Amino acid sequence: MNILVTGAAGFIGFHLALFLLKKGKKVVGVDNINNYYSTSLKKDRLRILEKYKNFTFIKIDLKDKRSLQKVFKKHKPRIVINLAAQAGVRYSIENPYEYLYSNVEGFLNILECSKDLHVKHLIYASSSSVYGLNNELPFRPSDTTDHPAALYGATKKSNEIFAHSYSHLFSLPTTGLRFFTVYGPWGRPDMALFKFVDNIYNGREIEIYNNGNMSRDFTYVADIVESIYRLISFPPKASSLTAKRNFQSNFSSAPYRIFNIGNSAPVNLLSFVHEIEKVTGIEAKKKFLPMQAGDVSNTSAFTDDLYKLIGFRPKTSIEEGIHSFVRWYKSYYRKDK
């Protein structure tokens, strides 16, 4: 049985594909290898995946519906895990159309192909960004998500709505996953941990927004991957729910579900930086700045419903996770130092 992983050269997609390959699964990976960040990092991830004979890589853009249809028809995936997207909250403010094309049009093509091929389970990446201006913590999957703070979150919200319509109309089983600040080895250069570590080692200032009065529910990538793997075996089923429950955002009478995936242990930004300083042995040069447009002060994930289904909670501590990332960073970027 083929499993299709989109965004296979990306951060989470790479880790998931590698995990599945080590489990002996047949993985078809697609990615457009865009230049949002270093293509050499993406190609190095792919080189690791391509060592496995049960891995097939196809370079396409999800906007190219015809090419995507050919992939589906040739490889006939029974499970589709859509992790391809234009990432970055701040980048969406300056480049809104990139998000429309990649995150909305591309996802619609995934839905169409999955519907036509009668995919058994479509799992797709949403984001904690959908909670937007909601300030009641922890964020629950049933909370309202009608007030996104940036276009990135709005596109992820649209994915959830599109998925529900296909689940309802075509009985396509879909599971949306709201990721909470995923980090770890092979992470993206635009993410906070990477930028902090890179700047610290290179003697540059690190930028601390909202004067450090922020917290994030940092979630280690291996915990994300374990959760996704376990979810594969639990496609949602159509059900008869009470009218009240039908109108919650995370469940439906259709074969549709939404879950948070987070560590459920928010960490203050300054504590996060302090842990990086401990691991690197270098005191950071800090530049305190006001809140950035499109950002939010705090995130925290309620995940009990996911745990009850799959019997697993993210468990990697921030100390372990940062140590692991710094080891990788030094081996990849500072081999001669």
By annotation, the residues acting in catalysis are: 152
DSSP string, 7-60: TTTSHHHHHHHHHHHHTT-EEEEEE---SSS-HHHHHHHHHHHTTSTTEEEEE-
8-state DSSP, 92: H
Tell me whether residue 285 is exposed, middle or buried, using C-beta atoms within 10 angstroms of its C-beta: 0 to 12, 13 to 18, 19 or more: exposed
Cis-peptide, bond into residue 138, ω within 30° of zero: yes
Sign of CA dihedral 226, 231, 232, 234: positive
Is residue 219 within 8 Å of residue 304, measured between CB atoms? no
Is residue 82 within 8 Å of residue 6, measured between CB atoms? yes
Alpha-carbon gap, residue 79 to 245, rounded angstroms: 27
Is residue 101 within 8 Å of residue 60, measured between CB atoms? no
Sign of CA dihedral 81, 152, 97, 162: positive
For the record, the structure tokens of 207 come out as 């930028």
For the record, the structure tokens of 218 come out as 């940092």
Collapsed DSSP state (helix, strand, coil) of residue 151: helix
Tell me whether residue 133 is exposed, middle or buried, using C-beta atoms within 10 angstroms of its C-beta: 0 to 12, 13 to 18, 19 or more: exposed
